[in-house]
Every structure is written in structure tokens, then in C-alpha cells.
A and B are shown apart, each in its own frame.
Chain A
């Protein structure tokens, strides 16, 4: 059973901006899934459609087999969502916020009261249960929103940039909490523009850019793809097939061009030694960049640039 199946989803906003250009996504049950992409890529729009906060233009969404158009209520019952923007009632107490949210999902107050204690304790907010949301710090508000998303015990938890604006220690403890929830059987999808976050938490990843999914694979495979570098070499003499280069992966592009892949950090000298040994004379060489790599460079830079860090 898949937790989420998105097919050919598009979204054009009222101002004509096409935020999603037809995305397909499948998240299996139990997965810890990252939707990674730079600001403006369309992550929040996609989440908004899945959680009924944004009207889609076309396409379909299924949550645990329930179609969002045809079995709206059943689909919605499966989902808990922590939005990117704080959407708490600032003058309500933590406890009331959670009890009310439980009520919207049909959880009676008696049952809700016990869950409120369970989740407020788990998220270290129990001491603040009778304080109004406005009095909480940024990180606490975020945690309160996580508790709120879990109060009806959904099977799919969606978090939109859950750790933006949260200091590093709390971020770590939130990661720990999300791992526990996932191990307890809840499928988790999170969006982030921090590569590190996706890398340390998630099993599978989709990378979205300008409204298109440009990569969708396991985290391990994506990391492997990123840890290699490809070079296009132009050869003096034509070759008919990809030459054997003592284990370096080679592809023939055309009879004068081959593409060689190296792990990052592997020495180029040894490659050229092999080439010389095989009497292959290289006229020119260029690095092959791909979109994924470019995007990742951007994401990594973004992460390292202090002004982009939202730490409290």
C-alpha cells in the first residue's frame, strides 16, 4: 500500500504562474521521504494540494488508496500536516488548540485529553500546556504544530520545512522525535531546502525544481550520483567503441568523444596515466555538469551561507 500517490499534478495560480508542471510521486507506506528543492520550487504548493489548502489545476492525489476528490474525508483522516507558516490561534492555550483540533477529526474530548498529555510531553511542552501560543518561542510553536498534526494519530505526517527558524539543538531533538514517530509506523514526508536534513533523516528523496521533479530515488543512490564527477574527453583519433580504461567507467558519446566518471577526489593523473598507456591522446577536456549537481551546489551553498540560516 502506498501512503501517497500523486499523478500528473499541475497547478497554475490565479496570476498565471505555473507552480507545478505535472509531477508524479509515489511514497510507500512507512517511508521517510524528503521533498527537497530551492525556495519557490513548488514544495509548499504540492503539500497544499495534498492537504486541501490549495486547489489543484489538474492531476490526481491518492492517500492510502483514497482519492482526494472522490473520498475526501477518508483521505483527509489519514493526513496530519505541519505547515510552513505558523497558523496557530495565538490567544488560545496549547491544550485548547490540541483539544479543538482533535474535535475537528471527531476525536471525543475524553480521548483527546489523554493524547494531549502524551504529545505535549513527547514534544516537551507539557509545562506550557496552559500558556497561550503567542507566548511560545519559535521552536515551541513549531513543536506545538507537530503535536497538533499528530493528535488524530494520522498514518501520514507531512511537515513543510519543519526546522526552519529552529535552533540547532531543538532541530536535533526534533529529528530524533520524527525518527521515533517513523519507527512507530507513521509515514513521514518532509520538505526542506537543507540537504543535510534530508540526508540525515530520509530514506527516499525527490528533488523538485521550478515545478518539476528532476530526481526521485533512494537517498543512497542520489548521494552516490552526487559523489561522482563526469568528464567529457575529446580524442585526437576516432574510436569505434568505449575503450577499456582499467576500471574507470567510460561511455562513448561519439567516435571522438568519451565520457569518464570519477569519484570526487579521485586523482586525474592516474586517469591520464591509463590514457597514455592505451595511446589515447586527449585534445581537450570539459567537466560535464548536470542539473542535479548544479541544484545541489546551490542547496549546499545556501546551507553554508550564514544569512540563509534561520537559527534563533
Chain B
């Protein structure tokens, strides 16, 4: 009955703990992926419909009138922006709702009583957010290909920026869920912070259209760097320096990851 792994020696403990955490991480990732599939009507369908509408209205109908932006056809200009916008909203949305419902319905306790490290729990949820974001991104890209041809100028930059952005917003979703006590708390940040930053973050326009003062203000928006970093990866054109984009994303990643770890360790919002 008692064949429980007993970390006896210090070295043995390290080793078996690593194994436990690896299996645990895989388990959380599987579970999150299953959740995305199980409720695909909520997780995959809505963003795809929204993005298709954007492509039709802005890309095709209005885009024809606009012509070019930064030297590229408008449809091609907004395609990376819209892909990035779906990555941001879906990574955030996935983690915030998955973690918050686990907390609200108490089954988060399944993980809290287990020997998993907080890092494993954080990474597991982040992986879930990335899975959802990337699934949506792939479909949105496929939709975009109906309307235009997309080339990828710098594949490594494109992929790394999109993955890092998904991580950052998954972490943000996790932190939001940690603090949330009721369903309203889950929508405050996306509505009042995330949406404005995204819409003003260069998804639809180049900041060169703004007056010099507003250009300066726009540069304070971290989303701008992510969207433009990604656009640079795909089109080779950008409003900003790609190194700055990486630096900003990495800083956000480190700060948000540390914050999430500290909050879980202290038990903020999850332990009395």
C-alpha cells in the first residue's frame, strides 16, 4: 500500500522532485489543452469569427480605399496585427478563465495540496494559454490567407515574438485571476486596459500617422512593441526597433513571472 516515492537523501529528493514536477507539468498542460478542445465553441470559434469580420471589413472593404500603410497593402499590414491581437486576447482570456474557475469551484485545491512547485503550476497554466493562443493564431492565419498572400520575412523573429507575447499575456491573465473574487473582476482588465492598449497598439495603423506628441505617448504602450515586432517578423517593416521589442517583452515576462510566483507562494487570493 505504501510505495509512495520517498525522497530520502538530498540528492535523491532533488531527482525525484524534478521527475514529479515534469510529470505534473505535462499533466497540467494536457488538462489545459483538453479544456480548450472541450469548450472549443467558447475558446476557438468566437475569436475566429471576430477576426474574419475584421479581415472582411477593414481589410477588404475599407482597406481598398486606404491603399497602403508603411508601403504595404492595408490587408497585409493589418494581418499580423490581427493575428497578434488574437494571441493577446486569447492567451490572457484562457488563463484568466481557467485559473479563476478552478479557484471558484475549488478544484485548484487539487494542485495546491500536491507537491508540485509553484513554478510548475504557473508554467502549466501559461502553456495552456499558449496552446489556445497558437491554435487561434493558426486558424486566423489560415483565414487571412483567403484574403491575401502572406510572406514571412524573418521566421525566427515571427515565431519567437508570438510565443513570448503569448507567455506574457498568459501570465497577466494568471495574475488577474489570482486577484479576482467575482466574475466581474475577470473582465475589468481586458475591457479597460487590454482592449485600449491593443487597439491603440498599432494593430490597425502605423504610429507615423499620429502627431509627434501622440507618437511619444504611443511609445509608452508595451503592446505596440509586440505588434510591431511581430509585423517586422512577417513583413520586414516596423515602427520600432526590434531589439527594443525583445527587451520590453523579456522585462514584462520576468516581472510578471516573479509576481505570479510571489503571489502563489504568499497564497494571495487562494489561501486564507
Residues of A within 8 A of B (CB): 13-14, 48, 51-55, 72-74, 76-79, 81, 83, 85-91, 96, 99-101, 103-108, 148, 152-155, 181, 184-186
Contact = CB atoms under 8 A, between A and B. Distances in A.
B27 A153 contact: no
Given A73-B115, A100-B31, A106 B271 contact: no
Interface string B67-88: 0000000000000000000000
Interface string B18-35: 011101101110110010
Interface in B108-167: 109-117
Contacts of B28: 103-104
A58 B11 CA distance: 30
A86 B110 CA distance: 11
B113 A103 contact: no
B209 interface: no
B4 A152 contact: yes
A52 B112 contact: yes
B1 A76 contact: no
Contact of B115 (A77, A81, A91, A186): A77
Sorting the interface of chain B by its residue count into under 10, 10 to 19, 20 to 34 or 35 or more gives 35 or more
Contacts of B6: 74, 77
Nearest to A11: B272
Contacts of B4: 77-78, 152-155
A104 B1 contact: no
13 contacts: A51-B113, A53-B271, A54-B271, A73-B117, A76-B114, A78-B4, A89-B105, A100-B27, A100-B30, A103-B24, A105-B20, A148-B110, A181-B1
A104 B111 contact: yes
Given A54-B271, A55-B272, A104-B24, A76 B113 contact: yes
Given A74-B7, A85-B106, A87-B106, A53 B24 contact: no
A185 B272 contact: no
A155 B4 CA distance: 8
Contacts of A76: 113-115
Contacts of B116: 104
B16 interface: yes
B5 A106 contact: yes
The interface residues of chain A, by DSSP majority, are classed as: loop
Contacts of B113: 51-53, 76, 79, 81
Contacts of B105: 87, 89-90
Contact of A103 (B16, B17, B26): B26
B16 A106 contact: yes
B107 interface: yes
Contacts of A78: 4
A91 B105 CA distance: 11
Contacts of A85: 106
B27 A104 contact: yes
A221 to B, nearest CB: 29
B46 interface: no
Contacts of B236: none
A178 to B, nearest CB: 13
A51 B113 CA distance: 6
A104 B24 CA distance: 4
Nearest to B114: A104
B3 interface: yes
B33 to A, nearest CB: 12
A77 B6 CA distance: 8
Given A48-B272, A101-B110, A107-B23, 18 more contacts: A52-B271, A53-B112, A55-B267, A73-B7, A73-B17, A76-B114, A76-B115, A77-B6, A77-B7, A87-B105, A87-B109, A89-B102, A96-B34, A100-B27, A100-B30, A106-B21, A153-B4, A186-B1
Contacts of B115: 72-74, 76-77, 104-106
